[in-house]
Amino acid sequence: MHSDMQTRDVFYVSDGTAITCETLGHVVLGQFGFVTNERTFPFVESDDKLDDLLKQIHSSYERLGVKPLVFFSMVIPEVRERLLQAPAFFYDVLESIVQRVAADTHLEPKPKLQRSRSVGKDSDTYFDRISAIEYTLAHDDGVSLRDLEHADIILLGVSRSGKTPTSLYMAMQFGLRVVNYPFIAEDLKLLRLLPEFEFHRHKLFGLTIEPERLTQIRENRLSGSEYASSEQCEQEVATIESLFRREAIPYINTTALSVEEITTRILEKTGLKRRLF
């Protein structure tokens, strides 16, 4: 089969966010001519997740007759050992990758300066990301609730629970159009969703945070204010979590998570497709 007609399954696997695996994998594979069918498996820490991944690797090998490519980052020895027994070509993202891909695929890399998977494709991908960032900025912190039909996801939560940095990261890294809305005191007193959100329930996702951490964050911004008081933070968090449960809105606690981890968990729970550039 001619190299430009080859299709290879590619898996990005990590016991963390897998973002590093994706980023490095796209840079490396951009130097080769085959078509890729890619899937990402973050937080592979349990036997259940590993079993599902191994089944899909075996299925790929049986279906295509060639071993899939697996870019991985794994620090759990037991998980790593089981993973490496699967019928695939493995590339630890900390090792030299390009030459090993060349050896396994019998193709010579043709590196270009700062080349990535998006280079050479339709330049609209660049403008898609810019458009997503502009949309997200225009819908930050409840500034606008117009054009919600164009949103990929709507993040809800109390003020300072991580909505803005997460929204911007999702827009810049994955080209997603994100709306974020902070529930203010009036919303929490009524304990209801805004009418604008009723038509887009399937896009709603909640962020919550431990009250103690919320108090610390708000104290850094407005020290000594009622807004930053322990009582206010505890009440707001309890109320918003009650709303999430009552309205069946999926949500996660952001207290101990980085913005990359928050984003990855949101994508994992919602099934939103990552758009990589």
CATH architecture of 3-105: 3-Layer(aba) Sandwich (3.40)
Between helices 259-270 and 163-174, what is the axis angle to 10°? 70
pTM: 0.70
Least confident of 12-16, 67-71, 73-77: 73-77
C-alpha to C-alpha distances, 4 to 34, 35, 60, 159, 187, nearest whole angstrom: 5, 7, 19, 50, 56
Widest pairwise Cα distance in the chain: 70
Taking only the tens place, the pLDDT of each residue in 198-239 is 999 999 999 999 999 999 999 988 999 999 999 999 999 999
Quick check: 1 pLDDT over 70? no
Select 124-270's CATH number: 3.40.50.280, 3.40.50.740, 3.20.20.70, 3.40.50.300: 3.40.50.300
**Could you state, in order of their start, the residue ranges of all structural domains in the chain?**
3-105, 124-270
Alpha-carbon distance of 89 to 67, in angstroms, equals 6
DSSP classification of residue 228: G
Taking only the tens place, the pLDDT of each residue in 19-57 is 888 888 887 888 888 889 999 999 998 999 999 999 999
Q: For position 277, what pLDDT does the model report?
A: 55
Q: For position 19, what pLDDT does the model report?
A: 85
C-alpha to C-alpha distances, 236 to 151, 156, 218, 242, nearest whole angstrom: 26, 13, 13, 10
Do the domains at 3-105 and 124-270 have one common CATH topology?
A: yes
C-alpha to C-alpha distances, 70 to 25, 48, 57, 195, 277, nearest whole angstrom: 9, 19, 9, 45, 20
